[in-house]
Each structure stands twice: as structure tokens, then as C-alpha cells.
Amino acid sequence: MKLLAVCLGRPERLPGKNFKTGIYKSAVNAAVMIDSLGLVGDAVCNRKHHGGVDQAVYIEGSLTLDWWSGELGRPYEPGTFGENMVISGLDNRDVSVGDRFISGDLVLEVSACRIPCATRMNDPKFVKRYTVAARPGIYCRVVAGGVAEAGTPVEYRPFPGERVTMPELMETFGRRLSESDRVRYLAAPIHYKLRAMLEPGI
């Protein structure tokens, strides 16, 4: 595997809106520093729903994006879904919470799935379409900071425990889990907000 693209966004005001968004991202031809909050220089305007330590970096797999190119009927440009990185040979459906992506000193750990908002795609029905496709994007926390640059190798290291895949996480989000599933989810390094929802007594 390798990094096919590293993408950054700039604050942009949406037509007819009084707020800015950083979801419009595009690939850069330079090395980018990554710290605990994500890519240095990447705009995160709505910190209630985006960014933070457990969703610092958003990844898409190239195999998933190839599939979307066919679905959308046009070539896919990196950053279209608001992702920070595109990794070659990766299918989002195969990724689980706790899996790690390692590139040089950089270590990213999968924490949650992501569904892009209708704002980015300019289509109010797209979120439903994306959910039905069951190929959600991948949120990661930064275990060790470093530098990301297109063309550099990436090591994929699966989580050694019981797996919670991205499609499963998206399908069950907001639903009541069986006790065995709740225990399995909590045994993985899931996003702290989801963990708080699943902890006993919550």
C-alpha cells in the first residue's frame, strides 16, 4: 500500500450561508505535518461535528473510490468526500476499529466510520445513498505524529482483537446493541463519544 493523495481544505463560505466549511479539500504536492489534531494547515470549521483527537484524520481506500467512480459515472478526484488521505489497494469495507496505518514515523489508528454530509456533494439524497452503499469513510486518531506525502509506503496492521468493521459500525450507530456486541465494541479502541454511549450506566 501507499499514499496516493494527501488533501487539505481551506475555509470557504457556502453560497447563501453565513458560516464557513473546510470540507472542500484537494490534493497537495508537498509533505504535510500531522499532529494529534490532524493535518497541519487543514481547515476544520465546525468542531462540534468534525475534527478532534478521535477523528483527526479521514481516510478513503482507493478500491472504494474506484467503486464510487463507477457509481457516479465520472472520475473521482481526491478530496471529493472531504478525505485527508487516499490509500492504494484499500477497501473501506475491510477496515475495523483498531486497525493501524503506518507510514514512516506516522501511526494512525482507526476509531470510527464517517458518512459525508449532503453539503459536500450538493445532493440532499446522497447521505442515504452513501449509507446504502455500506462503504463508509474511515476516521483515525493519531498515535504518533509525522509527515504524510503522496507516494510514500503505508503498512496496514489489523487490530488483533475481535473486529468491528466500518460497515457494521455505521449500520448499528444509534441502535441498541446486544450485550455481546456492546462488550465487543468496548473491547476495541472506538471513538470516545461512542464509548461514552456504550459504557455501563450511560
Strand ranges, E, within the chain: 3-9, 12-13, 20-21, 25-27, 32-35, 38-39, 57-61, 85-87, 100-103, 106-114, 137-144, 146-148, 155-157
Q: Is the pLDDT of residue 34 over 90?
A: yes
Choose which CATH entry (3.40.50.300, 3.30.830.10, 2.40.33.20, 2.60.40.420) describes domain 3-198.
2.40.33.20
What's the whole-number mean pLDDT along residues 22-49? 79
pLDDT band at 141 (very low <50, low <70, confident <90, very high): very high
The pLDDT > 70 percentage for the chain reads 83
What's the whole-number mean pLDDT along residues 105-110? 97
Residue predicted with more confidence, 43 or 28: 28
Residue predicted with more confidence, 123 or 170: 170
pLDDT of residue 102: 97
Least confident of 57-71, 118-132, 141-155: 118-132
Residue 29 contacts by C-beta under 8 Å, 6 or more apart in sequence? 150
Computed over every residue of the chain, the mean pLDDT equals 86
What's the whole-number mean pLDDT along residues 89-105? 96
What's the whole-number mean pLDDT along residues 33-49? 77
Show me where the domains of the chain are located: 3-198
What's the whole-number mean pLDDT along residues 69-74? 87
Q: Is the pLDDT of residue 169 over 80?
A: yes
pLDDT of residue 12: 63
Residue 131 contacts by C-beta under 8 Å, 6 or more apart in sequence? 115, 170
What's the whole-number mean pLDDT along residues 1-23? 73
pLDDT band at 116 (very low <50, low <70, confident <90, very high): low
